[in-house]
A and B are shown apart, each in its own frame.
Chain A
């Protein structure tokens, strides 16, 4: 397929910031998966990003629930492209759990159409990147359904020369009366050569809605480090604990017990 512009956000911004999409060499072959959850149905799908170019298309019927758990490991292909698009009908819920445990380059796009009344989307994105690893993520919640809800939460740790870009968009469109969207990112920067870009966007063309976003980006909190050190925990250990906490905040949300436990165990080993 050659070079393509991926992760193009709904709303572009200043060109000099280079966040209006990323040019990537896209492999010719795509592994496609499709899941349709029927009315009142419930399904949990776990995918390991073992192929370089994956596409997931989902639809969730009335009052149905789809949980998609996607793990990206260091040992996966160097470059991974992961494209997710899901549509939610009335009362339907889509939960996206995305854990990135390293890998040279990860390009994620997740676009969710909240079309039905009281449909909802919850994204939990965790990343731990080191060395020269990079992750480029675009996550969009498009609200057209009345009283629809979206909640995009991400938490991660960057060390070495890691480079992360997260664009999160809550798009409150005409018709989504009573809708609410919230977005929060919490990033821990461990080393002086890291780069973090955060683009939390809210677009709004409806009056009776609420949209909010927040972000905190920085080094380990000095007070916490001091407190733990005063209790005899060495600084290096303290920082590891804080980094671990960022990942745990996402991993503990994963509803599939076996996946969650395996990830927590891997985190223990990493520590």
Chain B
């Protein structure tokens, strides 16, 4: 079998690639001007501070440079991007029956209402720039858990709480697309889990970008108070168009003392998407952030969830798998800042490159001077399925104290012919053998997901690995 190759087909997106007419949707003009930002503020009924914040963000955006160290984003012309699209629904609904039919059908086909019934404690569904559905189980709400759209929360009893934290973890000057987000953000969720409350089943937000040439800029802000627990799942998809779409969301997570937040993402944007997303968590004493990430879609991704371990004994775990196929450059990884004593971080990632796809694993582990007795272990493994693809590993460790123990290991290789041969000798076809090996390779993520999502992810890998022997 030496010299034989399995031709692995491109990522199948058909399941997600459907669309409905949006001619009756409200859209702002494409491009970025102070007038467009004002128009978004009007639509959102922004409080005065937010109106000012958006305009300031636009100024910051205008003076910041494009990133010069990652994949090219030259194909993204902001003059062609529509930053706000409001679906033909006047308000957010708490019953699926009240959601307009075409939008409801979209989420039905994505399995969201069904998942809500079987395995979720609450669901938020965003369509283009607006949340169209938000609901949380009664018993969860009774425990004091707040799960709502961030815009109405801006006007309610949590307004001050949000104002205190909004874009404080991810400042506008963080990078150009953070500033862009600050100017045009729309939609997203606000979650507050009170002290000591353990939310046993996950909450999920699903983001669907349907409009061609549009951007989605949702803002997610989660506060898990002292001793509480939450698993939050984020899903996203879009139909494929011939024009560039942009996702520049922002996630800010505040994990309180001895609290735990698990933040899982299954990302399957279409291959015309520029996914320039920013996620950051601040963890207080004894708290823990767990990131679980599966990245399958988008044309270009820049995605590095960051953990700031601010309290003594706080912890971060990052588990990720990235699958890059034809036309995809997925620059993903994570950043960890150990900023307190006795902090711990653990990173375990896998990436698979095929059909000309490019994976870049990029990480930063920074151990500040006061982070004595901190520990960090990073492990990343990459699989090259063919010789037209690319896989890079670019980690940085910056250690500013001697009282820390830092370890790092990385490996790049191919599918073992011996393993394929062994499985074939047991009656498995070559195609199945390769799919099985890749599924096993991505096992680090699937075993961290709730069963239904793990099955979906493994199916996705199986479909993607389906090919012919050539």
Contacts and interface: CB of A to CB of B under 8 A. Distances in A.
Contacts, number: 139
A11 B392 contact: yes
User: Which among B68, B364, B412 has the highest number of chain A CB atoms within 10 Å?
Assistant: B412
A14 to B, nearest CB: 6
Interface in B357-405: 362, 364, 366, 369, 372, 382, 384-387, 389-405
A205 B393 CA distance: 12
B396 A192 contact: no
A13 interface: yes
Interface string A115-144: 000000000000000000000000000000
A212 B409 contact: yes
Contacts of A70: none
A205 B405 contact: no
B414 interface: yes
A232 interface: no
How many chain A residues sit at the interface, stated as a range, is 35 or more
Nearest to A210: B413
Nearest to A215: B408
Given A197-B396, A204-B384, A189 B402 contact: yes
Contact of A190 (B394, B402, B411): B402
B284 to A, nearest CB: 23
B69 interface: yes
B69 A12 contact: yes
User: Which among B382, B399, B404 has the highest number of chain A CB atoms within 10 Å?
Assistant: B399
A134 B383 CA distance: 37
Interface in A1-24: 11-15, 17, 19-20
A216 B378 CA distance: 11
A195 interface: yes
Contacts of B372: 192
B111 interface: no
Contacts of B403: 192, 219
Contact of A209 (B385, B396, B408, B412): B412
Contacts of A13: 69, 362, 364, 394, 396
Interface in A141-179: 158, 172, 174, 177
A217 B414 CA distance: 29
B69 A204 contact: no
Contact of A192 (B366, B369, B393): B369
Contacts of B404: 189, 217-219
A213 B379 CA distance: 10
Interface in B405-423: 405-414
A16 B397 CA distance: 13
A218 B406 contact: yes
Contacts of A205: 387, 389-390
Interface in B42-73: 67-69
A192 B401 contact: yes
A91 B427 CA distance: 42
Given A189-B401, A216-B406, A200 B412 contact: no
A17 B412 contact: no
A78 interface: no
Nearest to B5: A207
A167 B382 CA distance: 20
Given A199-B395, A208-B414, A12 B68 contact: yes
Given A17-B364, A212-B410, A202 B392 contact: yes
A204 B408 contact: no
A197 B399 contact: yes
Contact of A208 (B335, B387, B396, B406): B387
Nearest to A208: B414
Nearest to A213: B410
B397 A215 contact: yes
A13 B363 CA distance: 9
B402 A191 contact: yes
Interface string A233-248: 0000000000000000
Nearest to A217: B406
User: Which among A177, A200, A204, A210 has the highest number of chain B CB atoms within 10 Å?
Assistant: A204
Interface in B139-178: none
A194 B396 contact: no
B407 A215 contact: yes
Contacts of B413: 209-211
B313 to A, nearest CB: 19
B401 to A, nearest CB: 5
Contacts of B410: 200, 202, 211-214
Given A194-B402, A197-B398, A200-B395, A211 B362 contact: no
A260 to B, nearest CB: 29
Nearest to A201: B394
B396 A14 contact: yes
A172 B387 CA distance: 11
Contact of B396 (A199, A203, A206, A211): A199
A202 B412 contact: yes
A187 B389 CA distance: 34
16 contacts: A13-B394, A14-B364, A17-B398, A158-B402, A189-B401, A190-B402, A195-B399, A200-B395, A201-B395, A203-B393, A207-B414, A208-B414, A211-B413, A212-B409, A215-B397, A217-B397
Q: 3 closest A-B pairs (Cβ-Cβ)?
A: A189-B402, A12-B69, A207-B387
Interface of A: 11-15, 17, 19-20, 158, 172, 174, 177, 189-219
Given A210-B413, A215-B408, 5 more contacts: A19-B396, A192-B369, A204-B382, A214-B409, A215-B407
